[in-house]
Structure 1
Amino acid sequence: MATPVLICDDSNMARKQCARSLPDGWPVDVSFATNGEEGVEAIKEGKAELLLLDLNMPVMDGYEVLEAIRAQDLETMVVVISGDIQPEARSRVKQLGAIDFIKKPVDKEKLTGMLLEYGIIDAELMKAVEETVAPEPKPEKKAAEKKAAPKELPASANDSVPSELDPLLRDCLQELSNVAMGQAGDMLARLLKVFVELPIPNVNLIEVSELCMAFASVEDFHETSGVCQGFIGSGISGEALLILNDSSFGDMAALLNYKGQLDDSAELEVLMDISNILVGAYLKGLAEQLDLHFSRGAPVVLGQHCDVTQLLETKNQAWNRTLAIELSYAIEDYPIKCDLLLFFTEDSIPHLTHHASYLLDD
């Protein structure tokens, strides 16, 4: 009899990756949910003897799903699969009833081993399946086959820049950002000994002037300080901007154990430290997934104690249209507001599409 397995993740790419990572030959009936609310309803319908659950989702996130399962006494075994790899995240999901945690992108061998460990799949059955199923190609062979036949996306390195971002590419970049953002958040959490609240990455092809207006509407004209850092690699180039609300400096300096007077020089040091952590870890995580390397330039101060639109004005002058990835980090129990923006040049988009295409399978 097939085991009902529910994969709950807002990313189509992540759902497919997770489904492909299930053990070969395991009789399963796989269902999908795109957010936590859909996931809870599917559990009630009996579609989730096993639930593979993401944490970072709209409508209802993974923590809220675990709370709903406990509150409503729903029958399911939950394995969390997430890009949020903070130790505190692992601890919290287990306290809420998850049997285990696996980091994204999911490793097939680790998932199979975990399912065997908890008795969710039968070891004797899997042994019999392995004896009848052809062996998997060696990793290097699989990589070569994948390299030879990437998933077709709307643009290639020779195509013009699209007027709108293709949904398939947006979903892919959002999931890549989710993993890279989680690595950066983990580094910040360990350094500051806090829990970092991670957002859902916002990925869009946008006029920089539109971004200025959007920020002006949400920042309530609070003063901010910002630093930018250029990056380049494999035909892809852009700039990363770290923007910190000025009201956050006191708490951030205390968490970093800064001593003495918090003057402009000290605030700049705080800003540079946070930028090095978040920008460096994010770009490293993104590059590893795309199988490339980014070289970073020296950080440049955009401004201190000014309106956010003034910080973005230089980008408005440099580029008209850009691929923008927005990540708004927050720290639990602290009024700290920190935004990381990644701007990719227009001519980078076809190259980024080309690299991302290798990660997509039918």
Structure 2
Amino acid sequence: MSAIPLLVCDDSNMARKQLIRALPANWPFRITQAANGLEGLKAIREGSGQIVLLDLTMPELDGFGVLSQLRQEGLHAEVIVVSGDIQEEAIRRAKALGARAFIKKPADPQHLADALNNLGVNVALAEVPAASNEPLPELPSVSFRDAFREIANIAMGRAAELLGRVLGVFIKLPIPNVNILEVGELHMALADAQRGEQLSAICQGYIGGGVAGEALLIFHDAQIEDVARLLNTANDETAHLEMLLDLATIIVGACLNGLSEQLNISLSQGHPMVLGQHCPVEELIRINQRRWKRTLAVEISYGLEDLDIHFDLLLLFTEDSVPRLREQLDFMIN
């Protein structure tokens, strides 16, 4: 049987490696990889994507954009979306744009095989040559930063799904930023991102399995009333504060649970606390710089579609946590 051109389109080296490993053994695929939607479209146009395993959250052009462009250009490809964005609306939109199936990350090999079978790509073992002329695909090299960004992406998606249901809106997901920073660098990054706006911040500590840190959820004061209206919250300071604490519990809890499951580490979470209200980010950093020192920082910004509202989530892991995280990620990668 001739090889079937299969494209794995995902900006994460770790995600592509996991997907290639999850493909059914001995099936005759000729595998091509793409790191963003533009590269993916080019590969499909060149005939390398009869079947496409497509991520949704990517730079340059996201998965929704790829699906739209396929339809616009009349390109034929059997697309299976494999994504960390598991919102019901994301699944609905992907399928409305022509995706044949949707699999949540990390992809379960059986779910992937079932989705391929449903495309009609059911290859009996007897049909597969004992020795294929197709070279084995080169597995991507995965750095610590790329691996951690991918598990943060999956955890972020789970939190967005819950947040979207609570608020009744579609959450636009970013690509998480992962960096090991000195507190001064964190200060500069935050100050640049917030541009001197007045902020309120909730923090929630976590610890377990040799890992510790704090989650910092930043709300822009100018947007808090808009969020309160979405939730029918009373328009007073006490009600707003309770609302922010509740949202922090939802977002941080879901995100940390997603990380815990993937890393196989049980993280105990403290109670959310007010870190600062109606103050510039410089004040937040000044108050906490002794605690944070050098940190592994994961930055996530959730945006609410059609609304000028976003929440900034920072996961700040202590420097002492990094060796343990590397150990768990190495196990997942290899």
TM-score by length of structure 1 reads 0.86
Match of 1:58 in 2: 59
Match of 1:235 in 2: 210
Question: Is the CA contact 2:204–2:214 (under 8 Å) kept in the aligned structure 1?
Answer: yes
SS at match of 2:124: helix
Residue type of the partner of 1:273? D
Residue type of the partner of 1:95? A
For 2:290, which of 317, 320, 323 is the aligned residue?
317
Question: Is the CA contact 1:208–1:315 (under 8 Å) kept in the aligned structure 2?
Answer: no
For 2:124, which of 120, 123, 126 is the aligned residue?
126
Report the number of matched residues: 323
Q: How much identity, in percent, do the aligned residues show?
A: 49
> What CA RMSD, in Å, does the superposition of the two structures yield over aligned residues?
1.7
Cα distance per residue 1:88-141 (max 9 Å; x no partner): 00011111111111100001111111111221x13xx325379x9xxxxxxxxx
In structure 2, the CA distance between the partners of 1:167 and 1:20, relative to structure 1 (3 Å rule), is closer
The reply to whether residue 276 of structure 1 matches residue 252 of structure 2 is no
Question: Is the CA contact 2:53–2:81 (under 8 Å) kept in the aligned structure 1?
Answer: yes
Structure 1 moving runs of 4+ over 3 Å: 127-130
Residue type of the partner of 2:91? R
CA distance in 1 between counterparts of 2:196 and 2:296 reads: 25
Match of 2:185 in 1: 210
Match of 1:308 in 2: 281
Question: Is the CA contact 1:25–1:126 (under 8 Å) kept in the aligned structure 2?
Answer: no
Match of 2:70 in 1: 69
For 2:264, which of 261, 284, 291 is the aligned residue?
291
CA distance in 1 between counterparts of 2:268 and 2:191 reads: 31
CA distance in 1 between counterparts of 2:271 and 2:286 reads: 20
SS at match of 1:358: helix
Match of 1:142 in 2: none
Residue type of the partner of 1:200? I
1:311-350 aligned at under 5 Å gives the runs: 311-350=284-323
CA distance in 2 between counterparts of 1:311 and 1:61 reads: 34
Question: Is the CA contact 2:12–2:150 (under 8 Å) kept in the aligned structure 1?
Answer: yes
Question: Is the CA contact 2:13–2:142 (under 8 Å) kept in the aligned structure 1?
Answer: no
SS at match of 2:333: coil
In structure 2, the CA distance between the partners of 1:25 and 1:320, relative to structure 1 (3 Å rule), is same
SS at match of 1:189: helix
Residue type of the partner of 1:8? C
Match of 1:267 in 2: 240
Question: Is the CA contact 1:25–1:129 (under 8 Å) kept in the aligned structure 2?
Answer: no
The reply to whether residue 247 of structure 1 matches residue 222 of structure 2 is yes
Greater displacement, 335-344 / 212-221: 212-221
Match of 1:108 in 2: 109
Q: Which runs of 5+ in 2 are unaligned?
A: 131-140
Match of 1:186 in 2: 161
Q: Which runs of 5+ in 1 are unaligned?
A: 133-165
